[in-house]
Amino acid sequence: MKKLWAFALLLFSYSSYAQQIRIATSDISLVYRVNQRGRLVQQYLGAQLTPAGADTLVHNNQEAYITAGMESLLDPAIRIVHNDGNPSLELKFAGTAVTKEGDATHTSITLKDPVYPVTVVLHFEAFNKDNIIKAWTEVKHTEKKPVKLTAYASAMIHLNAGKYWLTQFHGDWAKEVNMQEQYLTTGMKILDSKLAVRANMQQSPFFLLSLDQQADENTGTLLAGTLAWTGNFKFGFEVDELNKLHISAGINPYASDYALEPNETFTTPAFIFTLTTNGKGAASRNFHRWALKHAVLDGHSPRLTLLNNWEATGMDFNEEKLTGLFQETRKLGVDMFLLDDGWFANKYPRNADNAGLGDWEPNRTKLPHGLGYLVQEADKAGVKFGIWLEPEMVNPKSELYTQHPDWVLRLPNREEHYYRNQMVLDLTNPAVQDFVYGVVDKTLSASPGIAYIKWDCNRMITNAYSPYLKNKQSHLFIDYTRSLYKVLDRVRAKYPHLPIMLCSGGGGRTDFGALKYFTEFWPSDNTDGLERIYIQYGYSHFFPANTIAAHVTNWGKQSLKFRTDVAMMDKLGYDIKVSDFSEKELQFSQEAVKTYRRISDIVWYGDLYRLVSPYQENRAVFQYVNEAKNHAIIFNYLMNIGKNDQFRLVKLQGLDPDKQYRIKEINLFPGTSSRYHFNQVYSGDMLMKEGIQLLPGWASSLTSNILELTAE
């Protein structure tokens, strides 16, 4: 009997060690197995191999989720300090579960410490058709007292290639998402943020990684990754002495040791990635298709085209000015008027950015009849009405600050630090959460018919001390973001489909953790048409066009047509004084709005092909193609060109080689005619293999063209 029991144990052990776990999409395979020590190791990550199952013959054996305090010399994914002070963790395989829902497969892998009652569950959700994998982690324990977490990556992945090139997206206010590529050498490269609320202000939470050779738009093996978290993040890229790359992604643990209570579950945000052998363009299209279906609120619903009052009035307005702008909104032909900052506060009127923030009642001098009156007047003019809010912030010169100084993040025994004359409310406090939700709810309830919110957030966290958290200050950065999500959950429970723009002094919040609550985001306060090409180009690597708000303004020295053509490649809007338009400018803009409405489905939901990069030539060319491949739009921008610039033919992509396409220039300025001579139909095969000349007549700096291709 003892021999039979021993044999059964041996058989069970062998079965556990031999177990392989595959997380797969149509093109990606991620394979884990359990080694002889009972630990989970990553066996393979790459393109699907043929025949099926060939990836199980790869013998990589790097531990999947590296723990601190054991024998690994790599930067750990997780570090935990137990009740007895032991700072180590060993994780052994304890089981797996797989469920399917629609096109997505969810795999959970449970790991346990054999000595301490700690459980770590690795979660993976694989979206088959979209070739996207989401990975996140849960940590829990049943020790008698809280344990201390000092590192808690969402995921860790391991790659084995000859060379690695990392592309990061960095910048600052009005200079967002500059793309910079570098070769990774031995050692550690970190991309991170410690800004908390406006976390993406300088470093964006996404990256591209090329393997073996530098990937371009159409060729090369590439991994693209991002973190769904609206707070401090960290990506670590460690190349070891064997030239293997280890990537950890998750919340930045900086100043964020977390005391995890017994039976409490610590859930990390999702690390979302795709891997392709067909370059950057394929990775972007994977993200766009997935985001529209799974990550952005109402991804396939129509978006509103709006006119913002900021450049026309700033904070200097009254009811008469605003109702006059309603008529300009209607004349322009857009859907909605958006009232920006400056409409609120009475004791400390919001006439500049140094007062009133936090006091969210309509200013009686500017708006004696309140917001409801404006909603009604906008409706009479045939347009919708939207409003600007910044509910997480407060000016020291406000009634809110005077009444609730304990609601503000502020350091004891230190002078207060101001950024844009404001401070951050302590959203970890449930009373503040109720207040912030109440700002939104009261504004909408008191003025039924408000159709849109621009939700702003103009500063990062300094004064990093929460009166509410008391002796748990290291929870602040994490709990703030979680508290924001709690508020947004409440907003969406009552107002599930209200369009809301995510704004943060420009592109300070651009992540899929927030976009589940928002319909679009404001990529930058910089609306200069030329500089916006680079900004919108950068964001296009991860976000679909209908999430990237692009407004026509007076920034920049380009023509109105150029600025309009740039805005039309994403989600068109206006922030301009329409009354200053000449007759032809007004006519052009009215027709542009109509044209955009007609082609918006192709731009919003079509496949994007970045045909020419502004980083490589003094021009940029973008192409959108609908799913049926019978309709395409080309945006062609000539930038500051030099006399020695030579521009090749542009080969189109994504068309049906067997279809015949007619090409027509659209969005022409009144009184002009196209200088292109596309007077015949062209096969998709010819357009993709030979290309077309996109220099109409002669080349002029800061000119643009939009071309429409229709299959016949």
Rounded to whole angstroms, the Cα distance separating 612 from 536 reads 14
CA atoms of 375 and 364, how far apart (whole Å): 16
Please say whether the beta carbons of 533 and 614 come within 8 A: yes
454 has binding-site annotation: yes
The Cα–Cα gap between 457 and 198 comes to 7
Predicted confidence (pLDDT) per residue in 498-525, tens digit: 999 999 999 999 999 999 999 999 999 9
Q: Identify whether 525 is a catalytic site residue.
A: yes
Lowest-confidence pick of 150-164, 662-676, 692-706: 692-706
> Considering 113, 456, 528, 570, which one is annotated as catalytic?
456
pLDDT at 9: 33
Q: What is the DSSP string of 222-256?
A: EEEEEE--SS-EEEEEEE-TTSEEEEEEEE--TT-
Please report which residue ranges of 618-683 form alpha helices under DSSP H.
Answer: none
At 517 the pLDDT is 98
* Amino acid found at 140: K
The DSSP H or E segment spanning 305 is none
Place of tokens 């890229």: 237
Structure tokens at 531: 């500089």
Helix axes 430-446, 370-380, angle to 10 degrees: 40
On whether 100 is known to bind a ligand per the annotation, the reply is no
**Residue 136 labelled as part of a binding site:** no
pTM above 0.85, yes or no: yes
The answer, yes or no, to whether residue 7 has pLDDT greater than 60, is no
* pLDDT for position 643: 84
Quote the pLDDT of residue 18.
Answer: 60
Phi-psi region of 470 (alpha: psi -120 to 50; beta: other; left: phi over 0): left
Work out the pLDDT band at 12, boundaries 50, 70, 90. very low
Task: Output the 3-class SS for 16-48.
Answer: HHHCEEEEECCCEEEEEEECCCCCEEEEEEEEC
Contacts of 358 by beta carbon, 8 Å cutoff, 6+ apart: 393, 394, 395, 398, 399, 400, 401, 425
**Is residue 50's pLDDT more than 60?**
yes
Query: Cβ–Cβ contacts within 10 Å for residue 415, how many?
Result: 8
CA 607 → CA 103, 197, 268, 303, distances in Å? 20, 32, 31, 18
Which pLDDT score, from 0 to 100, does residue 3 have?
38
**pLDDT (mean) for 280-294:** 98
Whether residue 16 is predicted with pLDDT greater than 70 in this model: the reply is no
Measured in Å, how far apart are the chain's first and last C-alpha atoms? 79
The strand pair at 178-183 and 164-170 is best described as: antiparallel
**DSSP structure class, residue 319:** H
Q: Could you give all domains of the chain from N- to C-terminal order, each with its CATH number? A: 20-295 (2.70.98.60), 306-498 (3.20.20.70), 608-711 (2.60.40.1180)
The strand pair at 233-239 and 244-251 is best described as antiparallel
| Tokens matching residue 58 | 């790869």
Residue 679: per-residue pLDDT? 87
- Mean pLDDT of the region 617-638: 98
Catalytic residue among 525, 645, 656, 685: 525
Dihedral-angle region of residue 674 (phi above 0 means left; psi in -120 to 50 means alpha; beta otherwise): beta
* In contact, 684 and 658? CB cutoff 8 Å: yes
- Judged against a pLDDT cut of 90, whether residue 221 lies above it is answered with yes
Higher-confidence residue: 4 or 424?
Answer: 424
| Residue-wise pLDDT tens digits, 178-204 | 999 999 999 999 999 999 999 999 999
Q: Within 10 A of 47 (CB to CB), how many other CB atoms are there?
A: 14
- Determine whether the annotation assigns residue 134 to a binding site: no
Q: Can you give the three-state secondary structure of 521-539, one letter per residue?
A: ECCCCCCCHHHHHHHHHHH
Q: Is the pLDDT of residue 704 over 60?
A: yes
Average pLDDT of the residues of the chain: 96
165 belongs to an annotated ligand binding site: no
Cα separation, 229 vs 134, in Å, equals 13
Annotated binding residue 22? no
Residue 173 marked as a ligand binder? yes
Report the 10 Å Cβ neighbour count for 425. Answer: 25
**Beta strand 132-141 pairing with 266-267:** antiparallel
* Contact call for residues 190 and 209 (beta carbons, < 8 A): no
> Would the annotation count 525 as a binding residue?
yes
503 labeled binding residue: yes
CA distance 433 to 451: 23
